[in-house]
Structure 1
Amino acid sequence: MIKMIASDLDGTIVSTTGKISPRTREAFLAAREAGIHIVFVTGRPYRWLTPIVDAFGGLGTVICSNGAVLYDLESDQVLWSQTIDAATAVQAQQIILRHEPKATFAAETTKGLHLGSGFAETGRTLGSLAELDLHSPELDAEGIVKFLARSPQMKVESFFSTVFPEISRLLWVTHSATGVSLLEMAHMDIHKAHTLADYAARLNIKPAEIMAFGDMPNDIEMLQFVGHGYAMASGHRETLEATSLIAPPFAEDGVAQVIEKLLR
């Protein structure tokens, strides 16, 4: 019996315009009405949950920043976070710059986004911003939940494979962005599956009782952890190779189709 549905957002149920389709919205609401616990699991910071709020209002708990933050939409507060210290981010930065001297950096904290020079595209709005200074006590006070590195010239797969052997000794590293070479790093003990496992255990829900959906490499651990992990047919090659269950593509409301079949 499925007792929980865990879903990624971007590319899984949220479009590039930041919208959730009416069919997908209705499928999740029907699942909740049937007594299934709903949890959204995203790489987004908790400040960027507008698609969820627009579609569902204050619908429960969201696992944000690839598992580094547990956020309660109903009470509008961070329940828990796992951070890294600035000194570790400095070490990671030094490793990356040896392999990619043109890399730029940013740090997502529990309070906002700190941008390094050249990281953001000109004119792009990214929310609450501050200048990145990895030697500032402010970063440790706020707590880094995600450290980001962007390459202007390497493809993301090459960027990842080049720095992974060294970075993985310090931090968990993944990638999930489409059309940009961006690495996402967090505490060694953090990824989506880790926090989902802890959250489900609090509710006495076993992995075999969870259905999950995702489309990018940062979803792989989650899809492999649960008993019913669906990669989107429109998703990243690595994600599709990591699980035997495939949902129809995003453009066809693939998650909604699977949920509708479950409820029937």
Structure 2
Amino acid sequence: MVASDLDGTIIRADGTISPRTIEAFKHARESGMHIVFVTGRPVRWLEPVRAAFGHLGTVICSNGAVLYDLETERLLSAETIEPELLIETRRIILHAEPSATFAAETTRGLHLGSGFADSAETSRIQTFDALDLRSESLREEGVVKFLAKSRTRNADDFMAAVAADLDHLVSVTHSAFDVSLLEMAHVDVNKSVALAAYAAGLGIDPGEVVAFGDMPNDLQMLAWAGHGYAMASGHASALDAAAYRAPGVEDDGVACILEGILARNGHVPEPG
């Protein structure tokens, strides 16, 4: 099995996936390997994957909270957070970071709190609801990821300020290079938990999994996989967690590693 993060791993800074990477994944699938993309992105942000690969593989979204079948465009499962826990989570975060702003991803869309997105971001998002943690609609839709943004601390410092007080309520991580954004899910959810369950369902053990990632939300997945590769361009914590290192995303690092694996197993693509 190949399990790959998206942003900063195969999606480059300009938002594209290179032709070489696309070909490497297609050859891996043709060789008989299962392909699963494991991302912090919600289902509504999978268009780059569709554009590059069509309906190839399965996607674990929202840092492990959602399992989505890209081949049939069907939600398979979702782990949600009770709104009461979100209210307490928000209280704890505001105590440490009074200017924090919030948003929530549900199984159906995005709910934005006041001040979370500026006007330019709001216009790009287009479709969203106002965030009300006490609303019945939020409970009915099911929150799969709760977001908190700081404009006064970097992401590592923001997480350090609140993580210990939140660990009994939600799982906490971050994955954005350019914004201080905490990503929270059900307390038992992370990428490795979802990936392990998915692999077990296919009869695949960790030693048969090669995984790629670059940020703190990839740590558990990189440690769990028998062959965990951190991108050379990634966060220091990812580089520390992984047993192996791949070249950076701009250097087609995932493609480099996959091509080597395929060649060693005798699956050399035909010219052209």
User: Shared fold by TM > 0.5?
Assistant: yes
Equivalent position of 2:177 in the other structure: 178
CA distance in 1, matches of 2:125, 2:234: 25
> What pairs up with 1:38-187 in 2 under 5 angstroms?
38-124=35-121, 125-187=124-186
CA distance in 1, matches of 2:152, 2:119: 17
Moved more, 13-22 or 143-152: 13-22
Pick one of 25, 28, 35 that aligns with 1:28.
25
Equivalent position of 1:194 in the other structure: 193
For residues 229-259 of structure 1, give each alpha carbon's deviation from its aligned partner in whole angstroms, at most 9, with x where no partner exists: 0000000011111122000111110000000
CA distance in 2, matches of 1:122, 1:100: 23
Structure 1 gap segments, 5+ residues each: none
Cα offset for 1:179? 1.2
Cα offset for 1:127? 4.9
CA contact (8 A) 2:223 2:243 kept: no
Equivalent position of 2:233 in the other structure: 234
Equivalent position of 2:220 in the other structure: 221
Cα offset for 1:154? 1.0
* Superposition TM-score, scaled by structure 2 size: 0.94
Equivalent position of 2:4 in the other structure: 7
CA distance in 2, matches of 1:28, 1:74: 15
- SS at structure 1 position matched to 2:120: coil
Amino acid at match of 2:216: P
- SS at structure 2 position matched to 1:204: coil
Cα offset for 1:18? 2.1
* Superposition TM-score, scaled by structure 1 size: 0.97
Amino acid at match of 2:119: T
CA contact (8 A) 2:106 2:142 kept: yes
CA distance in 2, matches of 1:249, 1:159: 26
Cα offset for 1:46? 0.7
Cα offset for 1:73? 1.2
Structure 2 gap segments, 5+ residues each: 264-272
Number of positions where the alignment pairs a residue of Structure 1 with one of Structure 2: 261
CA contact (8 A) 2:103 2:111 kept: yes
CA distance in 2, matches of 1:223, 1:245: 9
- SS at structure 1 position matched to 2:71: coil
Give the share of equivalent positions with the same residue, in percent. Answer: 57
Amino acid at match of 1:79: L
- SS at structure 2 position matched to 1:177: coil
